[in-house]
A and B are shown apart, each in its own frame.
Chain A
Amino acid sequence: MWCNKSSILLGEFEQLTLLAVLRLDDHGYGASIQREMDSRAGRSISINAVYTTLERLEKKGLVRSWVGEPSEQRGGRRRKHYALEPLGAAALRQAYGAFKRMTDGLERYLERA
């Protein structure tokens, strides 16, 4: 593989998705991740976009998934849960570090109302 797995570059939407998974502390699933992104980032997106991104992140080895038990409030359907993998956590740290370094000293411009 030509790219180094320890320096996976994340897109903005991938970063938001990984952060939502991290915030939900290994209990995240499609609807809760969508809700988290809507309430915190103001991104009103379709549930399908959430699953497409999560599947892509899983293929990259950044998250893992497992299927839960059926529940009555979901019409007897199961949830698909997601949790961060070590590689995903490393990619998030790298993205956060890059963001911090790039914004260092620019706070008074960026935080202007």
Chain B
Amino acid sequence: MKQLGPFLTFQMRLLRWRFPAERAEFVIGDLEEEFRRRSSASGSFGAHLWLSRQVLLCMAVHPRRGHRAPTNDRLGDTWMRSLGQDVRYAVRLLRKAPGFSVIAIGTMSVGVAATSIIFSLVNTVILRPLPYPRGDRLVAISEAVPNGGPRRIPSARLEAWQKHSQAFESLAGFEFDAFNVAFGGEPDSINGAGVSPEFFRVLGVFPFSWPPTNAHALGALKHGQQENKRRV
């Protein structure tokens, strides 16, 4: 009797591993017998196809030898079974009431969209890092009036802090203000800030070559005026 090829031998070994011994002998024997019959009747190719399909079916369906069937006393099985039941129940309910399903899915869509928009805003305004190199090391410090708001820091005190502070790498001051400027035509009021000379070095950004000249300051003021008009 002709011996089986290596691929068929491998398939038979898979089945022997898959089935308990008391069934493996009869299943493998039947498959080998039927394979030989089909090979001689209709050719080797068809027989190989048939046998591969049979092996796949057996591997997919029959529980592995010694494998324990799932039971309720195992936490994972209970959880997964419960989850599967819940999902199937939900799908059945939704199919049964299409109107309710549309409303429920619509409500969920609105909720998800609102959450996304709010997160985008919070991320942009609060969470996103400052657009400066090493922005995580920038802090704002101020003095506060007892039972009141922040107090303006005199320039002499800022200089003293700059000279004696050991907690900060460097310090710069700024003060928001409104300026009235006129570039040839009518005077205009623009919002801006007066800053100390170290300000851009502390931020780590240099909008123009350093130190700034009067032309640079004029350019900055013009830019501020244009921005002011654009926002209005």
A48 touching B29 by the CB < 8 A rule? no
Contact A78 B34 (CB under 8 A): no
CA distance A47 to B24 in the complex (A): 11
Query: How long is the Cα–Cα vector from A46 to B32 in the complex, in angstroms?
Result: 14
In the complex, are the beta carbons of B1 and A72 less than 8 A apart? yes
Question: With a CB–CB cut-off of 8 A, which chain B residues contact A31?
Answer: 30-31, 33-34
Q: Is B160 an interface residue (CB 8 A)?
A: no
B94 interface residue per 8 A CB criterion? no
- Distance, CA A46 to CA B61, complexed state (A): 9
Q: How far does the Cβ of B48 sit from chain A's closest Cβ, in whole Å?
A: 16
Separation of A88 and B58 alpha carbons in the complex (Å)? 27
When the two chains form their complex, are residues A47 and B1 in contact, meaning their CB atoms are under 8 A apart? no
CA distance A80 to B32 in the complex (A): 14
Q: Which of A71, A75, A78 contacts B26 (CB 8 A)?
A: A78
B27 at the A interface (CB under 8 A): yes
Cα distance A80–B30 when bound, in Å?
9
Q: Looking across the interface, which residue of chain B has its beta carbon closest to that of A31?
A: B30
Which residues from B are CB-within-8-Å of A34?
30, 34
Complex Cα distance, B43 from A17, in Å, reads 28
How far is A35 from B34 in the complex, measured between Cα atoms in Å? Answer: 9
A74 at the interface (CB under 8 A from B): yes
**Residues of B close to A47: CB separation below 8 A:** 27, 30-31, 34, 54, 58
Q: Cβ of B139 < 8 Å from any Cβ of A?
A: no
Residue contact B54 to A46, C-beta cutoff 8 Å: yes
Whether A77 and B25, one on each chain, are in contact in the complex, defined by CB atoms closer than 8 angstroms, is yes
* CB contacts between A and B, total, < 8 Å: 60
A75 and B61 contact, Cβ closer than 8 Å, known pairs A31-B34, A51-B23: no
Contacts of A49 in B (CB 8 A): 57, 61
- Please report the C-alpha to C-alpha distance between residue A64 and residue B28 in the assembled complex, in whole angstroms: 21
B36 at the interface (CB under 8 A from A): yes
Q: Which residues of B contact A74 (CB under 8 A)?
A: 29-30, 32-33
Interface string of B59-95 (1 = CB under 8 A from A): 0011000000000000000000000000000000000
CB distance from B81 to the nearest CB of A (A): 23
Q: How far is the CB of B29 from chain A (nearest CB, A)?
A: 3
Closest chain B CB from A106 CB (angstroms)? 34
Q: Does A73 contact B (CB under 8 A)?
A: yes
Interface string of A67-104 (1 = CB under 8 A from B): 00001111101111000000000000000000000000
Docked complex Cα distance between A47 and B19 (Å): 12
A residues less than 8 Å from B29 (CB atoms): 74-75, 77-79
The answer to whether A77 touches B61 (Cβ under 8 A) is no
- Add 11 more A-B contacts to A48-B57, A75-B32, A78-B25 (CB < 8 A): A29-B30, A47-B27, A47-B31, A47-B34, A48-B27, A51-B26, A73-B33, A73-B36, A78-B26, A79-B29, A80-B26
Which residues on A are within 8 Å of B, measured CB to CB? 29-31, 34-35, 46-49, 51, 71-75, 77-80
Q: List 10 A-B pairs, minimum CB-CB distance, nearest first.
A: A77-B29, A46-B57, A31-B30, A74-B29, A30-B30, A80-B26, A48-B58, A31-B34, A74-B33, A72-B1
